[in-house]
Amino acid sequence: MSKAAETTLIIPGEAGWEIWTGTAAAGFTLKEATAAQLPGDIPDLPGTDLIQLFPVKSVTAIPMRVTSDDDALFPDLAILHAERLGIRPDPMAGQLTDLFVIAKEPEGTALLSVFLRSPGEGEIPARTPKEFDLSARAFPMAGDSLAVWKEMGRWVFSLSSGGNTAYCQATSISTHAPDQSLAREIRLALIQLSIQGIVIRPSKIFVWTSDVETSATELTGEFRVTAEVAPRPAPVLPATRSKLLPADVRAARKAAEKKRNITLAVAAVALAYLGVIGWFGYGIWKDVSRTKSLRAQAEEAAPDAAAFTIHRQKWDELALTREQSSPVELLLHIATSIPPNTGLRLRTAEISAAEVKLIGEASQPGPINQFSLNLSKKNELIGFDWQTPSPQQSTRGWEFNYNGTAR
Total-model pTM: 0.62
Average pLDDT, the chain: 87
Give the model's pLDDT for residue 146. Answer: 97
pLDDT band at 36 (very low <50, low <70, confident <90, very high): very high
User: Closest by alpha carbon to 222, among 271, 251, 186, 262?
Assistant: 186
CATH class of this structure's domain 327-406: alpha beta
Give the model's pLDDT for residue 290. Answer: 84
Fold exhibited by the domain 53-230: Nucleotidyltransferase; domain 5 (3.30.420)
Give the model's pLDDT for residue 270. Answer: 57
What number is the average pLDDT over the span 188-194? Answer: 94
Residue 171: pLDDT over 90:
yes
The pLDDT tens digits of the residues spanning 118-131 come to: 888 899 998 889 99
Residues 6+ apart with CB under 8 A from 354: 405, 406
Give the model's pLDDT for residue 280. Answer: 61
Positive or negative CA dihedral for 32, 142, 107, 360?
negative
The pLDDT tens digits of the residues spanning 47-96 come to: 889 999 999 999 999 999 998 888 888 888 888 888 888 888 777 778 89
User: Closest by alpha carbon to 94, among 71, 117, 75?
Assistant: 117
Residue 152: pLDDT over 80:
yes
